[in-house]
Structure 1
Amino acid sequence: MAYEHDYAYDYAEYEALPQDMLEDYLYGNPAMLYNQHDYMYDHMDHEYTADISYTDLMFDCIIPTLQQGVQIVTPLLLLCVGFRFFAYAGFPSNALHFFSCFSGLCCVFLFFEMNLIYLLYLGVIGYIILWMLQYYTSIRYKGAIVAAVLVVLLILCELFLVSGKEWHKIRGSQMMLAMRIISLSLDVDQGTLPELPNPMQYFGYCYFLGGVIFGPWVSFQQYCQIEDPKNMDLSWLWKVLKSFVKSLMCLVISVCIAPTLTGVYALNRWTNAYQAALSFRFSHYFISFMSEATTAISGIGFTEFENHYQWDLRVAKPWHVEFPRSLVEVVTYWNIPMHNFLKNYIFNTAKVLGAFPAVIITYAVSAILHGLNFQLAAVLLSLGLFTYTEHVLRRRLSQIFNACILAKRCPTGCSHQYKETDVIVFLANMTFGLCAVFHLAYLGVMFDSNAQLQEEGYAADHTLSKWAELDYASHYVVLVCYVFYKLI
């Protein structure tokens, strides 16, 4: 049935929330975006209170935060600029890919020091497996084999081979690396790429400077845009500056503005929960826009037209998250590259087994990539329950009232009698949007700013205690909505 396929795909989107983003918001960060937001905050020692004047806020928090934020990302930005001019100088392709790998590893060392050895292990093992499999033409599903091996390696590292504290630091970058290797192997397996890239191309892609720290995930075809360096025009410069400024604005809101709302609007536990989730969401937007800037500086993220380039890479769309139509929309625009990866490489590959198995496989791969812990599983399973209930309820109401109130926005010229512009339809969609904000505050309340918990990971008792403080309200609301759906 078409509906079953749509729901299965929608559910697969829910896993588009990297766990490091899950920690940033409700919901994880990796990504990115990825666990790197913890690195940023560990290196920024500012203190603030909710009850301060605007002058104190400016000079005691905003200015120091901007200074420290710029100071931390400056080495990465300078390396990206150097790489861009290296590409512009017209060096041979293999030299360009080598410099991409070398500069990326230097950047990893600056941020994570000797923990870069774990990234090297994963990249080398991935290439060895790909190289060996290409000589066995009788073996089917080579991409799936590579993905399975990488998943097993990640599980072994997290549970047995690497300390939890050290693994937590690099988990975001490991996730990005694993996603690149998996997508590359599936592209080769499915014929999207005619052959396995040579070692310089492979390692240049794996450790691409523009995305090795903050992300985002890009396909190998997108990565090869670095070989077209003649597009350093004003639109490129504007994209870089715009993303960089937006990133710093989101950092200020997350660190300085959002926490003050606790004192101004501390009406009850729900407003406090919303404030905490708001701070985490904007820390994710900070990473998202910074990743746009570093990727664009390095020469990736454009669409070429006949006589110009359009720099159109988007990692997140905050407006659609802060003012959502539905939870489905939140997940889609939370991390667009991650959403595309899960849709194209995991769900579409697994759906030959059926819609439900594809959903389970997508969920399992996403959870393992983000890390094995109760917090992640609880949030993702809850999101699956919430979004499924919202989807089927709004679908049923749309059929009954012949109105555009589906979880996904109707295309132009749909057959519904009552359109988005009708007052009742507008109010109904707004109500569901407010309900989505309510659920996001509930799911995000557990991801507080406790430094020890961020460093070690959130335990089950922490998650359940936070939800218990809110009387498990969202779960009860969803239960009522599901019963109502069954009754109608």
Structure 2
Amino acid sequence: MDRFVPRFLYDRYIRFRIWRRDFSFDDWDAERVFKTSLYLTEWLLQIILLALFWLFIIPPIMDNDFFVGEELGEVIREFVLVCTRPTVKGFIILISSAVALNLLFNFILRCRRLTSRQYHVMSATIGYVLLQINCNAKCMVVIMVFMLIIFLLVNRLKVFVERDRQIIRPVYTITLILTTILCLGEFFFPYERVWEGSRAIMMVMTMKVISISTDDYCLKRITTVELVGYLLCPASVLFGPWMSMDTYTLNNVHRQKLSAKWFTQTIQAFTYAMAHMILSNCLVQSITPISDAFYIPMKWHEALRNSFAFRSSNYCTGYMAEFTMLTAGFNAYQHYDEEQRWDYPVARPSNIECPRSMAVVLKNWNIPAYRFFKDCVYSPFSEINYVCGLTMTFVLALLLNGFNARMMLILLTMGILSYSQEIIQDKLAYWFDCCCCVNPCDDECEHRFGPWNPITLIINGFNMVINVSHLAYLGYVMDRKFERTTIYELYEIWEDEFGVQTHFLMLVWWATMLFIS
């Protein structure tokens, strides 16, 4: 029977069969039944969402009255023709060149054993062609000038490292110069659209160079060909994400055969990326807030809608980055790990939409970026002090985003909330001996009250509701019309709409943290 199961559901089908084999009514309890029902609900929802998505983007099915009624069919057809079809067409045009060139990169890598130099040359060539196709002439000039600055800076610092003449560490010099360029471009670059088209690409390049410069030995031995290949790797040059130099080089060393799991993971990432683009551009924007529905004020309906649209666009970017990484053959963060094979998660929407803390949101918003900040910024500075590590992480994240006032206020708010929630939830977990810490326990939870105990569910449910309101409050100002606003203007917007609720709760959380610690 296994051969008749669709490939993209095969893993879930096997897990369901194992659950059905092991489940027995002799030892059942409320916790196991509740956990099992949640798993089955998630499994069914994923199947329904995937089926509905493909039904929406295939217009011939909409013409058949057997599937939908006549009135509903008219609404769906109008929705498909006006928004969904143009969105899908634009998405396919946007990603088609990236798919073709990354598949070419992947197949060449597996059809022929390449030397290290050949691998870097191929990566740089295909990455440059990909940028040339998707970026206009002005964006290409900005990106090439930025890369030239990187080459001159790295080569000059290599001389100082070899002669042991550096006054300060090279990572500080590189970080200061490149982030200063990003900040100056954010405020003074004359062509706004050109800067918006090249900013994200230069940000990822900056993160790559910073990660190299943290190790003086790596900076000293890296060649120009390796640096160009690393910066222009086609898997991450357009949509990201950041990847370490080890991940990039190991892709040429540990070559895994393309399997059915690679194909299913690639199709799944592509489907989720397209689904979240349709959600962000069409479905969410077409929802009209209802006045005081479910006893929630209309302004909060609008905030929830706008913030979810912004998060959906981030999920779309994350799944597009995951899709390009998989098509290029990058099978995991650690190529030797069998459990992570053909799995390169960039964003986890389920952990963001139902967060038990703001720290979980920051961690799952962009997992490779989180690894970069943790390994290259937080870990070195946390040896001095925990607060110092958090502060430097916040400062570098702010500089990489061009010292934008809106991002500064949002990152500062989320940082304070994350720090205070960690102290408070750790204290609650200690007092009640329940699994309500900032990060969930592993499979073997040692607390007296596990993750599915009613006491734990009440505490985590209360934290989830508070965090969802924080996301709606902060995401309300992520609309493009608020992009160039100042801190004072943002404060007035929040005060007029919500009465600065999240910032008031932030102060309450901070005071509570100081009291109980």
TM-score for the superposition, normalised by structure 1? 0.81
1:373, 1:458 within 8 Å by CA — same for their partners in 2?
A: no
Per the alignment, residue 233 of structure 1 pairs with: 259
Structure 2 CA distance for partners of 1:230 and 1:435, relative to 1, 3 Å:
closer
CA apart distance, 1:101: 1.4
Structure 2 CA distance for partners of 1:361 and 1:170, relative to 1, 3 Å:
same
What letter matches 1:366 in structure 2? A
Match of 1:203 among 228, 232, 240: 228
Percent identical residues: 22
Q: How does 1:162-181 map to 2 (within 5 A)?
A: 163-181=191-209
Per the alignment, residue 111 of structure 1 pairs with: 134
CA apart distance, 1:461: 5.2
SS in 1 for 2:287: helix
Q: How does 1:290-301 map to 2 (within 5 A)?
A: 290-301=320-331
Match of 1:418 among 449, 462, 481: 449
SS in 2 for 1:419: coil
1:403, 1:425 within 8 Å by CA — same for their partners in 2?
A: yes
Per the alignment, residue 137 of structure 1 pairs with: 164
1:67 and 2:98 equivalent? no
Structure 2 CA distance for partners of 1:74 and 1:350, relative to 1, 3 Å:
same
CA apart distance, 1:306: 8.9
Q: How does 1:349-428 map to 2 (within 5 A)?
A: 349-413=380-444, 415-428=446-459
CA apart distance, 1:476: 1.9
CA apart distance, 1:63: 2.3
Structure 2 CA distance for partners of 1:408 and 1:129, relative to 1, 3 Å:
same
1:100, 1:208 within 8 Å by CA — same for their partners in 2?
A: yes
CA apart distance, 1:408: 1.9
Larger Rg: 2
1:171, 1:371 within 8 Å by CA — same for their partners in 2?
A: no
Structure 1 CA distance for aligned equivalents of residues 335 and 410 of structure 2: 39
Per the alignment, residue 249 of structure 1 pairs with: 275
Structure 2 CA distance for aligned equivalents of residues 306 and 402 of structure 1: 34
Structure 2 CA distance for aligned equivalents of residues 230 and 421 of structure 1: 39
1:472 and 2:497 equivalent? no
CA apart distance, 1:106: 2.5
Structure 1 gap segments, 5+ residues each? 1-51
CA apart distance, 1:107: 2.2
TM-score for the superposition, normalised by structure 2? 0.77
1:393, 1:482 within 8 Å by CA — same for their partners in 2?
A: no
Q: For 1:95-121, what per-residue CA distance to the aligned partner results, in whole angstroms no more than 9, with x for missing partners? A: 332232122223223333222222223
Instruction: Point out the more displaced range, 270-279 or 357-366.
Output: 357-366
CA apart distance, 1:428: 1.1
Structure 1 CA distance for aligned equivalents of residues 212 and 308 of structure 2: 35
Structure 2 CA distance for partners of 1:460 and 1:166, relative to 1, 3 Å:
farther
1:218 and 2:248 equivalent? no
Structure 2 CA distance for aligned equivalents of residues 256 and 240 of structure 1: 24
Per the alignment, residue 479 of structure 2 pairs with: 448
Structure 2 CA distance for partners of 1:368 and 1:484, relative to 1, 3 Å:
closer
1:94 and 2:117 equivalent? yes
Structure 2 CA distance for aligned equivalents of residues 365 and 304 of structure 1: 29
Q: Matched residue pairs, number? A: 430
Structure 2 CA distance for aligned equivalents of residues 380 and 231 of structure 1: 41
CA apart distance, 1:61: 1.7
Structure 2 CA distance for aligned equivalents of residues 338 and 369 of structure 1: 11
Per the alignment, residue 353 of structure 2 pairs with: 322
Cα RMSD between the aligned structures? 2.6
2:280, 2:312 within 8 Å by CA — same for their partners in 1?
A: yes
Q: For 1:223-245, what per-residue CA distance to the aligned partner results, in whole angstroms no more than 9, with x for missing partners? A: 11442555333322222211111
Instruction: Point out the more displaced range, 262-271 or 382-391.
Output: 262-271
Structure 2 gap segments, 5+ residues each? 1-73
Q: For 1:7-54, what per-residue CA distance to the aligned partner results, in whole angstroms no more than 9, with x for missing partners? A: xxxxxxxxxxxxxxxxxxxxxxxxxxxxxxxxxxxxxxxxxxxxx933
Per the alignment, residue 212 of structure 2 pairs with: 184
Q: For 1:157-208, what per-residue CA distance to the aligned partner results, in whole angstroms no more than 9, with x for missing partners? A: 3344664443232111111000001111213x1x4x4952222211010111
1:259 and 2:282 equivalent? no
Structure 2 CA distance for aligned equivalents of residues 308 and 381 of structure 1: 36
SS in 1 for 2:341: strand
